[in-house]
Amino acid sequence: MNSADMLIHVHPELDTHARINLERRLMECCGVDCAEFIHQPHPHAMIVKYDPAEIEGMVILDVVRTIDPVATRVGL
């Protein structure tokens, strides 16, 4: 399995319930190994670890944008 990391920035006012739902929704995607927010010190940042052979980064970002339309992918 190949592995890649993606940092996604969501709107700072996205509430806790929405963040938990977003983590769960991403974890249901084939190829996503881990999706979690960096609670301290950047609660608006989410790390997603995934297999690029199974899912494209833009597909992951599209899933995030269903909950937060202004979410952006941050270059690492």
User: Which pLDDT tens digit goes with each residue over 16-48?
Assistant: 899 999 999 999 999 999 999 987 778 889 999
pTM score, whole prediction: 0.89
Q: CA geometry: angle at 68 spanning 65 and 74, to 5°?
A: 70
Is CATH 3.20.20.80 the classification given to domain 4-74?
Answer: no
User: How confident is the model over 47-69, as pLDDT tens digits?
Assistant: 999 999 999 999 999 999 999 99
Q: What is the number of residues in the chain?
A: 76
Give Cα 43 to chain centroid, integer Å.
12
| Angle (CA) 59 30 54, round 5° | 70
> What integer pLDDT is reported at residue 76 of this predicted model?
58
30/39 Cα distance (integer angstroms): 25
For residue 41, the model assigns a pLDDT of 79
Q: How many CA atoms lie within 13 A of 46 on its CB side?
A: 29
